[in-house]
Structures are given as structure tokens and as C-alpha cells.
Structure 1
Amino acid sequence: MTEKKSTSRKTKSGAAKKSSSGKGTKKAAGRQKTASKKKTGADSQKKTRTRSSKAQKTLARSLKWDLLVFVAIVAMVVATAAYYRFELRPAQTDGVAVESTRASRRSPEPVKVLHPQTVKEGVAPDFEVFPPEPASAPATEPGPVAPPPVQIPDRRPMVAIIIDDMGYEMDVAENFLSLDCPLTYSILPQSPFQREIAQSAHNRGCQVMLHLPMEPREYPEVDPGPGALLTGMTTDERIGLLKSHLDAVPHISGVNNHMGSKMSADSAQMNQILSIVKKNKLFYIDSLTAADSRSGSSARLFQVPFARRDVFLDHVPEVEFIRGQLDRLVAVARKNGKAVGIGHPYPETYKVLTEKLPEIKNQVRLVPASEIVSGLDF
């Protein structure tokens, strides 16, 4: 009996333990289910938020495309309306026809432009009135082009007149410069108005030369003036002085000698002078104060444009003599085709030139000195 009771208690105790263990397992399972449900709910909410975000992005993209399409459609409508409005107009024929605005603008009458849509809908159209434009003249075929006028060369003989010894009297220079004639003015170096006269002559389109003083045979009884080149100078002194003269007088185109009968006859010294003239791209005119001048051979050696004086106009400063010399100058030009005359700033010379220049211009072509030397063989 005792053993049975004991066995019964053990059985009951084991059952109680099993019952207690089962309840604990059920509670744990419940907790797991609850946690699982919470996790599932969180995942579900996350997925929902993700889907919502994607939907919003898709909607935003869709709205952008819709907006772009809408803008494109509006632009097309506006362009079409503008085309119909400004480029086309209907004409009253069998139906509603479209005509170019270019034709309407050529019409001499005001044109009413109707919008096609208002006509189609049967609405009384608004219109605009454009003022008529004058009809353009019909294009004409160009006629034959007239040939250019034939330029007849002036074959009259050429004469160059050089006025020497300029630079000391400004008022006398202005008198000669006022003559309507292409005279050439040769200016003495170291003269008080050398720059002013040279500039004034240049401004009036007249040619300027350096009137280079050189030693005469009568030196020292006859003084060629300040800045003269002398045979007793060294080569460096002579060339340095010549260069300073060329720099002092502006707008120089050429050189001619003042006196210089002794130096002109010396080939070595003329070679020195003509070499500097060549380097400065000037021409040289021999005043021919010496019959035995060597300036021509020196000019040929250095290939310097060269000419010789043909007539002194006023070595006798009398009106009648000067008139005769001018006639002689014209005669030489007619014989040789060209001639060089040299005068001086004397009142008598100015008076005769004022009287005879119109007559001389009818007989010969007055030119600057450079045009005489350019075509002269030497």
C-alpha cells in the first residue's frame, strides 16, 4: 500500500512537472509569435514606405514628361498660329485659299488678313489693316557698260624749274610758294628758315632739295657760305658734314651743288658725295658750274638718278633777260624732250614767272625735278 501511494505521488508529481513545463513552452511560443508578428509588421511598413517613395518618384517623372509634352504642344500651337497669322492669308475663291504675305505686301490696296480658324467656325473675323507699300519697279536688264575714257598721254616736253638759294628770306619764299606751279625749291643748309621753308613747300606739294655748298675755284675770295664742303677737309669731316645737312633739312628728295667748281672737277671727292646721296636714295642734279665736272661719271658709278642744268634763268637779274632765258628753256625742252632751268629768289625772277607761267604751261609740261632725272640717260 505504501509503495502504491508512493508511486501515485511520483506520478502526480511528474504530471505536475509536465504540466508546468508545457505551460512554459506555450508561453515561450506565444512570445515568439508576438515578436514574429511585430517584425512582420515592421517589414510590411518598410515595404509600404518603399513602394510609396517609388510611386512618388514615378509620378514626379511622369509629371515632368507631361509638362514637357504640354510645353511642346503649346509651342507648336503658337508657331502654327504665328505662321497662319503672319505668313498666310485667305483669298476669296471657291474656298478658303491661302496666299503668301509677300503678294499681299505688293498689293497697292490695304489688305485685310483673316485668321483661318475664325472663318472655319463661322465667326465674324477680326482683321488688321496694313498700309500699302509702293510696288517695286520691275528689274531692268543692265545696259552695255560704257568704256572708260581713253587717257591720252601728255606728250609735251617736260620742264623742271629749280629755285636755288632758299632759306634766308621767309617772305620771299612765301611769294614763290604762292605761284600755282610745281616748282622745286633747293634750300641752303644752316640757313635761318631752312626747316620752315622746307615744311611749307612740302605742305603745298612742292619738291624740296638740298642746295649743297661746295668749294669754288675762287675760294677763299669767293665764299660758298656756312656748311660748305671743302677740298682740304678729311674724308670723315666731309662725309660727316654732308650727313648733318641731310638730317637738318626735312623732306629732301635730291641734291644739287651751290658753286663747287673746284670740287665738282675732283672725281674722288665727288665719289664720296655721290655714295652718301645713293645711301639716302636721293637724286643729284649738277648745277654745272664747271665745264669739267665729274659728277656725271660718279653718278653713273653709284647708279644715282642724275641730270644736268640746261639754262640759268637769272644770272643777269633783269626782267627782259629772264624772259629771254625762259623762252630759251622752252626751246631746249622742245628739242631734247626735257630741260632743267635754275633760277634764284630775286624779285625780277618772281615778276617774270608770275607773268609767263600761264604761257609756259600751254607749251610744255612743268614737273618736279625728280621726273626729269628718272628718265634721263647718263
Structure 2
Amino acid sequence: MVRSDLTAPLGMNKRRGIGRLPLGLIGVAIMTVIFTTGFIWISIVDDPNGGEPMATIKLSSALDGVGPSDIEIVDLPDGSQPSVIAAEQLDASGTWQENDVGQNSGDGVSRPRSTALENPASGPTPLVELVRSGDLTGLDGGFSSESLSTEPVEQLLEPNKFGALPMISAEGVRPLDAYARRPNPATLTQARIAILINGIGLNSDMTMKAIEDLPSDISLGLSPYGDDINSWMKSARLSGHEVLLQAPMEPFDYPDNDAGPQSLLINLDEKQNDERLSWIMGQTSNYVGLVNFMGDRFTSNETHMRELLSKVRDRGLMYVDDGSSPRSKAGKIAGTQAVPFVQADLVLDRDLNAQAIGTQLLELETIARQRGIAVATATAFPVTLDALETWSQRLEERGLSLVPISSAIKSSR
């Protein structure tokens, strides 16, 4: 009799072995093995490019044919500082001799490293080349495209009991050359306006407003009496503002009206005024020049102005006459002594109200269109800063552009 499922003993029709396992269970087991193997492989083998086509080439460390002009300073992603070395000098045999690298001296004066780039093949890039190329604007690292360097260049510092004074380097580089903000070349074909806002550092709220809200092409005049003037200088230049330093000078109604304890006075001799000037210039660094604070009596004295302007020139700085005194001799003397000089055409906030400031700004635009460039000064008062912020927003639509005050040197009267 043929066996069938009906005649087979109970339970004897069940098949044994793998063939009787459900196919779904077999598939799950296979997939589990594959995923487990892959996970173990990824954990052990650290090669994110595994499986990708690869090629191997031999890199040479030689720098033949690479010159200083082929190297530029770039911002490092981790905020590190670019590698720089102290200035070298070329001896008679043509060998670069390295000087000591500057450090903090402990007297409160920053002695930063030099701006020469380290290039093992061709030696360091001279300071003059860095200034010409504009590389100084990136030496501190972490800057935006608008930022200016905030640390002084060691070759441009002369140690002094008041800190460190600006000086012309052995290569002939002036602080004016190193710290000036370069104008946008596109603006050179337009009517230009240069504005200098003075009194920076005296009031923290107004100082921050000027630094943060005004266009970076507006220059700022730091008061030597300001609190933490070095911090304000760095903040201003980080925002792209070129800075000058105010020099307090004697007004006609002195002593009823006093420009401060370190004012330059006509009853002091040259040595005494030079001592005060050294104190003023030693308060900070990275400024392109001096601008008078008050001083209508002092600037009208030809003898004292000759002494002052010769020192400004010899230290590689520019001088700005703020335009407050028609009796100033600064322009006449600067022309005979080859001093980089700018004469302000008007003071924007001589009358401290919004309507008067608006009228002055219209006059400034007229001068710029007539002569190609116009220069104005003002003080960091709330009404002045508000007026300038609003006025500057649509300046380009009116065919005008802002430039830093140093750009007005060659075009000034």
C-alpha cells in the first residue's frame, strides 16, 4: 500500500534539515551576517576614501623658482597666527642676517614680530614690498576683507619712556605708508569725499557707534586722553577705519578754555613741547598722522608750527588741519617743508543741530563735484553720527564715494 500523509504515523511526515526552514528566516540571517561584517570592517579600517580610485605622486619640497611675490598671508582656519620672523639685513656677502624677534618688553609697550615673511629659499620679503603689496592688512589673522592690521610694525617703533613713538624704517617705510587704508580703485574716477571724525575714545557709547555704524572709509581721530585708547584703536582698525591721533594745542582763550594737561603751548620752548608731543604720540600706535585738537592760537604761530610739522614729517606721519581756524599757518608751512598734509574744507558740526549738519553735507557734496575731492571734519556727537549714517547710505547713487583721509593728501590744496 502506498504511504500517504493520511496513512503515515502522526508526526512522521515532517522533513528534517535546512530545506525545511522558512525562506524568510534564511534571508534575515544572511543580511545580518553581511551588515555585521561591514560594520566590523568600517570600525577597524580608517580609510574614508576606501574603494575610490587612487594615484600616488612624489612631491618635492624644493622652492626653486618661488619668490616672495608668490607667497601671501592667508587666514588660518583655527585662528592661528601666520608664521613671521624678524627683519633681516643683507650683509656685504649677500647673506641674510636675522635679528632678534621682538617680544613684549614688560614696559607696557607691545613689541610684535616683524612683518617679514619666512621663505627658506629666497629670504624674507622686505617690509617695503609687504607695504606695497598690501599684505600688512592680514598679518594679525582672522580679519575680514575690510580689516586693517592692529599690531604695530616693530621696524616702525622707536622706544621711548612714554611707550613707543612712530619712526621711519631703515628701508624708508613710513607709518603713513604701512597703516593707511587703501581706497577702492573704482572710486578714483568719481567725485570723492574724505571725512574725519574726532573725539574717538572719550565716550564709549559714541565711540562704538562711530566704529560700528559709520562706513569704514570714514577715518577716525583718537583722543590721547581716551580710556583704553589701544583697545579703541584696534576696534576701529578691525572695522576697517583708518585712524589718526589728536594733538591738543593751545586755543586763543587759554587758560579759560584748555585742551588738556599735555597741550602744546606757545609759551613753552621747543624741548618742552617736544616732551609733550612724545607723550601724545606714545599713547597708541597704527595711526597715519596727527590732527589738531583746538589750537587756533598755536596753529597761527609760524615758529611753533614749523617745529611741530618738521617732527610730523620726520616721523613719517601726515598732518590734518581740522579747518576750525582761518588763521592757521599749517597749510603754508606744510608746503615748504614737504609734509604730507590735508586741509579740511569745512567742519560739519560747527553748529550742533541736524539741519545745520545737513546743510554742511550738501555743501561738501558741491565742493567734491567742483574739485573732484572734498574734506570735512566733525566730532563724535550723537546728532553728528546719526546724520552721517543716514547721509552715507545712498551716497553712491548720487555719484559720490567716500575715501579715507590719507587719500586726500595729493589732492588737497
TM tier, smaller = 0.5 to 0.7
Give the counterpart of 2:245 among 210, 221, 238: 210
Secondary structure in 1 matching 2:258: coil
Secondary structure in 1 matching 2:306: helix
Distance 1:180 1:191, change over 3 A: closer
Q: Distance in 1 between matches of 2:366 and 2:403?
A: 16
Give the counterpart of 2:226 among 188, 191, 204: 191
Unaligned runs of 5+ in 1: 1-132, 134-150
Q: Is the 8 A contact 1:170 1:197 kept in 2?
A: no
Correspondence for 1:268: 303
Q: Distance in 1 between matches of 2:241 and 2:316?
A: 18
Secondary structure in 2 matching 1:231: coil
Q: Is the 8 A contact 1:210 1:246 kept in 2?
A: yes
Give the counterpart of 1:300 among 335, 350, 355: 335
- Once the two structures are superposed, the pairs formed by residues 336-347 of structure 1 within 5 Å of their partners are 336-347=371-382
Q: Is the 8 A contact 1:199 1:250 kept in 2?
A: no
- Once the two structures are superposed, the pairs formed by residues 10-89 of structure 1 within 5 Å of their partners are none
Q: Distance in 2 between matches of 1:270 and 1:316?
A: 28
Q: Distance in 1 between matches of 2:354 and 2:187?
A: 34
Q: Distance in 1 between matches of 2:325 and 2:290?
A: 17
Correspondence for 1:375: 411
Correspondence for 1:172: 206
Note the alpha carbon deviations across 1:334-357, whole angstroms, 9 max, x for none: 111111111111111121122111
Q: Distance in 2 between matches of 1:362 and 1:281?
A: 36
Q: Distance in 2 between matches of 1:293 and 1:215?
A: 12
Correspondence for 1:326: 361
Return the letter of the residue paired with 1:302.
Answer: Q
Compute the TM-score of the two structures, normalised by the length of structure 1: 0.57
Does residue 159 in structure 1 map to residue 205 in structure 2? no
Secondary structure in 1 matching 2:282: helix
Q: Distance in 1 between matches of 2:248 and 2:187?
A: 38
TM-aligned CA deviation for residue 154 of structure 1: 4.2
Note the alpha carbon deviations across 1:86-119, whole angstroms, 9 max, x for none: xxxxxxxxxxxxxxxxxxxxxxxxxxxxxxxxxx
Q: Is the 8 A contact 1:338 1:372 kept in 2?
A: yes
Secondary structure in 1 matching 2:395: helix
Compute the TM-score of the two structures, normalised by the length of structure 2: 0.53
TM-aligned CA deviation for residue 259 of structure 1: 1.1
Q: Is the 8 A contact 1:246 1:252 kept in 2?
A: no
TM-aligned CA deviation for residue 269 of structure 1: 0.4
TM-aligned CA deviation for residue 206 of structure 1: 0.8
Q: Distance in 1 between matches of 2:407 and 2:343?
A: 13
Q: Distance in 1 between matches of 2:265 and 2:214?
A: 37
TM-aligned CA deviation for residue 180 of structure 1: 5.0
Q: Distance in 2 between matches of 1:153 and 1:174?
A: 27
Note the aligned Cα RMSD (angstroms). Answer: 1.8
Q: Is the 8 A contact 1:330 1:360 kept in 2?
A: no
TM-aligned CA deviation for residue 254 of structure 1: 1.3
Return the letter of the residue paired with 2:342.
Answer: A
TM-aligned CA deviation for residue 374 of structure 1: 3.1
- Once the two structures are superposed, the pairs formed by residues 231-242 of structure 1 within 5 Å of their partners are 231-242=266-277
Give the counterpart of 1:351 among 386, 391, 396: 386
Larger Rg over CA atoms: 1
TM-aligned CA deviation for residue 362 of structure 1: 2.8
Unaligned runs of 5+ in 2: 1-52, 54-184
Q: Distance in 2 between matches of 1:159 and 1:321?
A: 18
Q: Is the 8 A contact 1:169 1:193 kept in 2?
A: no
Secondary structure in 2 matching 1:217: coil
Q: Distance in 2 between matches of 1:263 and 1:219?
A: 10
Return the letter of the residue paired with 2:196.
Answer: I
Does residue 219 in structure 1 map to residue 262 in structure 2? no
Q: Distance in 2 between matches of 1:239 and 1:312?
A: 28
Q: Distance in 2 between matches of 1:153 and 1:369?
A: 14
Return the letter of the residue paired with 1:211.
Answer: Q
TM-aligned CA deviation for residue 169 of structure 1: 1.4
Q: Distance in 1 between matches of 2:316 and 2:267?
A: 27
TM-aligned CA deviation for residue 157 of structure 1: 1.1
Aligned length: 228
Q: Is the 8 A contact 2:324 2:347 kept in 1?
A: no
Secondary structure in 1 matching 2:394: helix
Note the alpha carbon deviations across 1:105-163, whole angstroms, 9 max, x for none: xxxxxxxxxxxxxxxxxxxxxxxxxxxx9xxxxxxxxxxxxxxxxx9774111111111
**Seq. identity, %:** 26
Secondary structure in 1 matching 2:288: strand
